[in-house]
Each structure stands twice: as structure tokens, then as C-alpha cells.
Structure 1
Amino acid sequence: MRTISDMHTVALATAGHLLHFELAVAYEIFGTPPREATTGWYDVLLCGPGPVRIGPFTVEPEQGLEHLTSADTVIVPACADIDDPPPPELVDAVRAAHEAGARVASLCTGAFTLGAAGLLDGRRATTHWAHAAELSARHPRAVVDPDVLYTDSGSVLTSAGKAAAVDLCLHLIHLDHGAAVANSVARRLVMPPHRPGGQAQFVATPMRVADDHLLAGLLAWVRQRLDQPLTVTDLARRANTSPRNLARQFRAVTGQAPLQWLQIQRVRRAQELLETTGESIEAVAVATGMGTATTLRRQFKRIVGVPPDSYRRSFRGAQPPEN
């Protein structure tokens, strides 16, 4: 844990078209010290070029964007529309703040501002899973991970959407004040304790394939047979192509080898069953083609980041399995 000064400034960049949730969350978390914080807290500032309309609300910044360069931590909240480029003055101010030594963190689609400022180049980053592919396409030098809750590259941090923004804010408090204080803030928010960033976003990312593509019918066919043993040869035969060409097509469309993609689909199906049924872990393993509970637990933890039992509790609470 590093030592935080009594005057540690957290600047919230209020420019462009923002989403109110992430801005409000950051202001609440960093603006309200818990009783357990005995080594100083944060001085929170709203910094922007002028009044910002956020849905039905109007936010009045306290300082201009130039004050980002004097902040210790800069938070860039989510932008409302990724097709609307971040304001150049915001991009310049965020870049200047980082060059001046500030720790810069984006919440959800705020990562697009960090990308425009060049702060994601050569760094691991994330954003809401629905926009991860676009972030990667716009900033190919960034290492975009669509599955994690947040990333920490030291002076540059990024989070996925909504609840993951809370996790990143708690992570920053954990770094500055330790686990006890971070967990105290989580309790005040009626949130689970601080979660590690490597935990996966709880989503099943859709895969869009053109109707005339080689894989169009195959992907749906496989998803209907996840309880069955399937090999690359089986998939190639179904697609009427060679295993080598199938592998090339899978790489081009999904970025994964066929069996990697298949394993993820099995785990995604397991997620659905854990969320919607009370089937035992053993039954879920059989229904998803993983055979044994041991295999399911190993693969589920590797891909999702938490054991299947913990995942079920997160979505359904502690319920007994169905007989």
C-alpha cells in the first residue's frame, strides 16, 4: 500500500456526452470518506470546459480541464455514444495529465478517450464487452481484453461497464488505503467486497456471422450439441471443409482455434444452467459435454475467473440442487 497525502486530488473529467451512472459512482466513492480512513482522504474536483448535460441533469464543473494536470488521479467516466469522438480538448487534457504524472483511470467507454490520447498503446485495457471489438479496431496497439472487470497497468487503468466501474474505484482505494478501507466502502455501497480485476465479465458475448459464411450454420449446430463429444474433424465434416481451412476460418471470425471456441461455448452454456436451474454441478458438467464436475470446475474457473458454485450464488443465491 502506498502512502496517500491528505491532499490527494481526484479529478473527474466532465466533458463530452457522458453517462450519469459512472460519474455519480466515482463522485460518491471518492467523495465520501469512511470512518476507517485514518490517513487522509481524497479531494474530489469536477473538471470540464463548462456545464454538461447528462440526461435530465446538468453538471457544473468546478474547474477547467487544465486542472487535470495538477490532479493525482484523473477519472474519465463513460461516454454516452462511442460513435461521437471524445472532444479534442478532453483528449489533450487527459494526455497532459498523464504526462504530468497523474494516474489515469477510465470507466466503461471512457477507455475510448484514453485510446484517443494514446494511453492504451502497448497496454492491456478493457471496456464494456459490447464495445471491446471496436476499441481494439480503433486502437490496434492496445491489448484489449473483453472478459475482465478491469485492468491495471500502473499509471493507466480501465474498467468494464457499470458495476465493474465500482470495482475499479474500490481497487484504487485498495491500492491507496488497503483492503479494510476498500471493503468498508463496499459495505456502505451494499456491494460485495473488492473483486480482483481478472474476474470475468458475466456475459455471453454474441458472435455475428454473415448468413453466407462457412461458419454460419456450423456455430448454431455446435451450440445445439454441446452435451456431445465433438472434435475438429467432426466440425470440419459438418462444414464440408478441411480441418486446416476450418481452423483458418475460426481464427478469422472468432480469433480462436475451433476447440478453444468450443470450450468457451460449453462454459457459457454452464453459466446459463447455473443461473436458471438448480441442477447439480455434476449434472451441469454432463449437460455441457465436460463429463465430470472436476473438469467443469477447472475450465469454468479458468474462463470465468470464479468457481461455478460462487457464480451460482452471485446470480441465484444459495439454493439447494434439484433432485
Structure 2
Amino acid sequence: MASEHHLIKIAAPQFFECPTTFGARTPYDSTTSCWSSNIGGYDWQCNYTTHHSSRGTVSLTLLLPHGNIREPLNARFKFSLVDREGRPVLSRTRASSFQNWTTTQHRWEWTCDDIITKDDLEQPEYRLDDGSFTVRFDIALKPFAAKATDAFVTVPPSDLHQHLGNLLECKEGTDVTFQVAGGDMFPAHRCVLAARSPVFRAQLFGEMKESKQTTGGIIIAIEDMEAQVFSSLLRFIYTDSLMEAEEDDDDWPMEHYQHLLVAADRYCLERMKLICQEKLCSHICANSVGRMLALADQHHCPGLKEACFDFLSSSTNLDLFTETDGFEVLSDRCPAVLKELLAKLATVLID
């Protein structure tokens, strides 16, 4: 197996104010190529994308351009933000597993979303004197696994989620309690929450302290979240799943997924946010599309927004939508989204 690493110096990204349209700010992205090299006979490229949102993040994408996969490839990759001493930052490291890539793939890419934030680049231990920062890229290549060999030892799937789920259920060792709307109490473990959510990490160990200390430990009040939503949020944090194995997600109303999406965005749980978006995308109708668009705009959900635009590209669906209360709500609260919708529809009509 061959492996090597490269240090990629990236010029200081300029985080711009989002453009203002009818009083609302619309996030946008800019992508720049920052590195290329031939490794193992393959011409690799790296792009970085600056997300000009209120939070301000940088994503990295590794790619093999069209026609570059000449032979089957088995590879593993890792990106890490590097401090001024040249040490990778564990919390800003993303890695893939070994995967096979074949010649039938015309283009291949691997993206690390939001690996670096604007706040990271304002820290003196990461930002160089000229404002640039350094990323370490690790790559490992090994022979293509064309056919699996007979296994004498079978490794079972990870059951870490089951153990953590049991820890949540038994409440052993809990050191923080959340009190939500209605007074329901939820004991939890600070270290688990901090490991999964940067917001909880700041809230529990940093300067964002919204808690009070009692003889029974830390109590944090979350008055604007219902018990069922917070229960699902905790379950996802511990198990990476929204529900018990015996539960059927089709029994959940779409309003519940909307509340879960808001909670996921609030606590920076990107996978949970995508799961909610996927579910909502399959339940768009004339009566719900207005609320869905407003939700997508407020919580930066481009996939959900595009699904709504696609639904409204039908003149029948559009006519039904304009007769609903959701159309008036969208016009009053999200005029920038309505303008974007009209621009999309104009493009469709021209085509």
C-alpha cells in the first residue's frame, strides 16, 4: 500500500456580506481551485468553496476530472486543518474509508462540507501572518479489490449506536438535565453532547452558558422546544438515528420533521438536517410548499428549496399554490424567495 501527504496553503478566504434583496440576505458560495498533483498516476485536484453565509464556512472537494480514471482505483483520503506548528487539528479533520472506483465513472469527487469555519480562521494558532491557512491532505492507495476473498473471520457491523442508546435510556452517569417546554426533564451526558454538536460544546464547556447549577447537577432550560422534538434530537445525538427500530417514521406528521429540521440547524447536526430535508421533499404539496420554502430559506436548505421549485414548475401546482394561505405568507415574510421563484419560472418558460 502506498501513502503520502501534501500540505496545501490556501489564500485567506474573503467572507462577504450576503447580498440584500427586498430586505433579506441570500447566502451564496464561491469556489476556487487551490491545488493539483499527480499521485499514483492520477491527476488529482482540490477546490475550496467559501460559503458566504452568516456563519461563514469553507468546504474542500477532492476530485478526479473527466477521463482521468484510467484503471480501477482503491483509495482512502483525509483532510486536516493544520496549526502554525504543523500539527493537524483533530476537530477539523475529515477522513474517508477505503473505496473502490472503477473506469466506468467519468468523474469522481469527495467533499468535506464545512470543515473550517470563519471563527477558526480568526484564531491566531491557525491563521498565518498573511491571512492564509494550511490544510494537510493524506492519501493512501492499494490494489483494486476486484473480488472478495474467503473470510475466516467475520467482523460484525458496529454496535456503538446501540451502546450509546442504552446509555441514554438507563441515564447512568448523566451530568446535565434539560428542561423543555411543558416542564419535561431530560438527563444527558455533557461529553456525548459536546462531541456531537459544536453548539452544545460551546453551551456546556465554553462561554455560551445558559445553565444554572443545583445540587443535582447542571440544569439547562430550553423553553422554545417541545418534549417530543427534544427527545428525538437526543436520540439522534446518541444513536445517529431519529427513531427506535420498531417505530415507523411514516406515522410521524410532517410538522414533526419541520420542527426537527429547525432543531438540527440550531445545534449544527448536519446529517439529521439532511434526513429531515429528504423526508420533507417527498411530502411537498400545494398546501405545504409555501411553508417548506420559508423553512428552507430560513435554515439554509438548498435541496429542499430546489424540490419546492421543481414542484412549482408545473403550472397546475403553481395555480393551486397561489390560492393558498402559504402564498400570502411567503409573499409577506420571504419576498426574496418569491423573487427567486419567479426568476426560476421565467427561465423554465424561456427554455
Which of the pair is proportionally richer in strand? 2
Q: Is the helix fraction higher in 1 or 2?
A: 1
| Normalised TM-score (structure 1) | 0.28
TM-score by length of 2: 0.27
**Rg (Cα) greater in structure:** 2
